[in-house]
Amino acid sequence: MTTGDGLSKAANSESIEKLAKNMARVEELSKRLADVMAQKVPHNPALDGPNQELYARAATAYWSQIMQNPAKLLEQQIAFWGKSVLNFAEAQQALTAPPEGSEAQDNDRDRRFANPLWDNNPYFHFVKQQYLTNAETIRNAVQEAVELEETDKKRLAYFADQIIEMMAPTNFLPTNPDALERAVETEGQSLIDGLENLVSDLEANNGELVVRLADESAFELGGNIATTPGEVIYRNRLMELIQYTPTTETVHETPIVLFPPWINKYYILDLKAQNSLIKWVVDQGYTLFVVSWVNADESHAEIGMEDYIQEGFLTAIETAKDICGVSQVNAVGYCIAGTTLALTLSLLKQRGDKSVKSATFFTTLTDFGDQGEFTPFLQDDFVDGIEAQVAEDGLLRSWVIGRTMSFLRSKDLIYGPAVKSYMMGETPPAFDLLYWNGDGANLPGRMAIQYLRGLCQRNEFAGEGFELLGHRLRLRDVEVPLMAITCETDHIARWKDCYRGVQQMGSRSKTFVVSQSGHIAGIVNPPSKKKYGHYTNPDLKGDSDAWMAGAEFHEGSWWPRWQAWLKPRSGKQVPAREVGESGLEPLAPAPGTYVRVKANR
């Protein structure tokens, strides 16, 4: 027996042993998969897609167009057939004369097709080109459904796009060259690891498929994220109020009370020292209080918007006033908390209460007249389904909210990560922003329905008024000096919609800013990064297009501009207030206890 034969037998023996181990893992993982799916609690099917009436209306409109103009259908079909035949002809030609390194097409626009095989291999090239042809045909058909109402057309376009993204060849092993190459390189280990990732994600979410975006083991609250020193100074059933430890000898007399959204955790504003808005505010010499909201469970089912205002906003403001010995605070609201801050300001105006000296709104919608990208989810069939599920659970569970947000960017937040995790067998990255994104919160059922029906669907706050706490709250009652920070590419709270709401507020002092980037990056934009600039324009009389046309662009973060606006509204300098000196005993060190509770999915 030669040495080569011995090595060959040893290698073959090792391969057989590895194969046997992998088969054993597949059997174990298959059992775990079956177990978790058997225990999955079914949810209302209305949460998964529109009712059939939308498709029926679309089919009726399409058929009507065919009857009126049959040539249009033939034109569409001939164009589709022509492109399909051309794709096949190119593949045939490539088989007889394989390209030696053709330049990538469309790859600079779509990262999914970055692998050279999409252009150099006849099979993959044909698959890609036919997919792009199919996608273009479907989108064109939706756009030409002229007899559909605009809302139906928007919804149809959205769901057509979801089908297109779901059917991308990169989402299937036989048509994904990256996954196939990885499987060959690793002797199938990548597929085993991917199956492990899939089963683990299902187990973590009670059978619901929620793709894990970040390596959760890489982060520790209070350890390497949410580390700004402070203490929980007050707690009730809805919130913990954190007072942060001063870093300057003196502070401004008027404290800041910051209300983050309760859809996610507050520490998006305190991920790490380098980009922490919370740390930066404290370092500028302000006494800062931040609310950390409870992660709702079934016991919170009957909590409504009025409770968030009374036990959250008003209680936090009064507590901060008492601790600091002042009569007013500067308030900040982010996203849905900004909306609720505006409701609170209307209530205070009607009560004659001047506890809020100024208000700052981060990416805040107050006029929901244009539902934007949320149009597909804010029609009655979806909201009826949410209401039915909420009636059963008492909660709007975090996975419903998270999935809805993710599907708005499904290529980047669902299918891309799923391919990497489940087909390539990769461990999710240790990325703090994605960790926060996956650390969602449940919402009390009553509050969620009030928000969806009264604000989002009926737009009552910007209209006839939103009934709450014995008052009819109106947008025009917001009269305190205000600054609104919006974000240029924000798809959740579009800056033009935020602008429309600010225009209707009654304040005589309004400052409106559009930061570059999106809902998170445009806000978490520290000056030290010198990354995103911002636009300003003091003239808010015209529409949003006129505002932007006349706006001045400024390099760098909006944070210093906000501080310059806030400083003259923050009073004289006083000795720094140490946590606990007011007589309220600290209850727990920041980041507190509520933030550590994981959502009950």
Letter string b/e over residues 532-571, b meaning 16 or more CB atoms within 10 A of that residue's CB: bbbbebeebeeebeebbeebeeeebbbbebbbebbeebbb
Report residue 486 as tokens.
């919006």
The amino acid present at 6, given as its one-letter code, is G
Q: And the tokens for 550?
A: 């006349």
Place of tokens 């968030």: 308
Nearest to 18 by CA among 187, 270, 201: 187
Query: Is-catalytic flag, 335?
Result: yes
Burial string for 223-256 (b: 16+ CB within 10 Å, else e) reads: eebbbbebbbbbbeebbbbbbbbbeeeebbbbbb
**CA–CA distance, 283 with 534 (Å, rounded to integer):** 22
Cβ neighbour number for residue 465 with a 10 Å cutoff: 16
Question: Which residues, 6 or more positions from 107, have their beta carbon under 8 angstroms from its beta carbon?
Answer: 113, 114, 118, 119
Q: How far apart are CA 535 and CA 514, in angstroms?
A: 5
Which amino acid, residue 302?
A: E
H-type alpha helices, 457-543: 495-504
H/E segment holding residue 544 = helix 544-549
Residue 221 is given by DSSP the state: B
Contact 246, 276 (CB under 8 A): no
Instruction: Count Cβ atoms within 10 A of the Cβ of residue 184 and give its class: 0-12 exposed, 13-18 middle, 19 or more buried.
Output: exposed
* Burial environment of residue 99 by CB neighbours within 10 A (0 to 12, 13 to 18, 19 or more): middle
Q: Which residues contact 48 (CB under 8 A, 6 or more apart)?
A: none
How crowded is residue 487: how many other Cβ atoms within 10 Å of its Cβ? 28
Give the whole-angstrom CA distance, residue 346 versus residue 462: 12
Tell me which of 324, 335, 456, 498 is the catalytic residue.
335
Give the single-character DSSP code of 520.
T
Q: Distance of CA 145 to CAs 70, 139, 233, 393, Å? A: 14, 10, 58, 39
Q: Tokens at residue 406, please?
A: 């993710």
Spatial separation of the C-alpha atoms in residues 590 and 231, rounded to whole Å: 5
CA distances from 339 to 357, 362, 471 (A): 17, 10, 16
Residues 6+ apart with CB under 8 A from 193: 425, 426
* Terminal alpha carbon distance of the chain: 61
User: Which structure tokens are listed for 450?
Assistant: 């009030």
Rounded to the nearest 10 degrees, the angle between the axes of helix 189-204 and helix 177-185 is 110
Active-site residues: which are they? 335
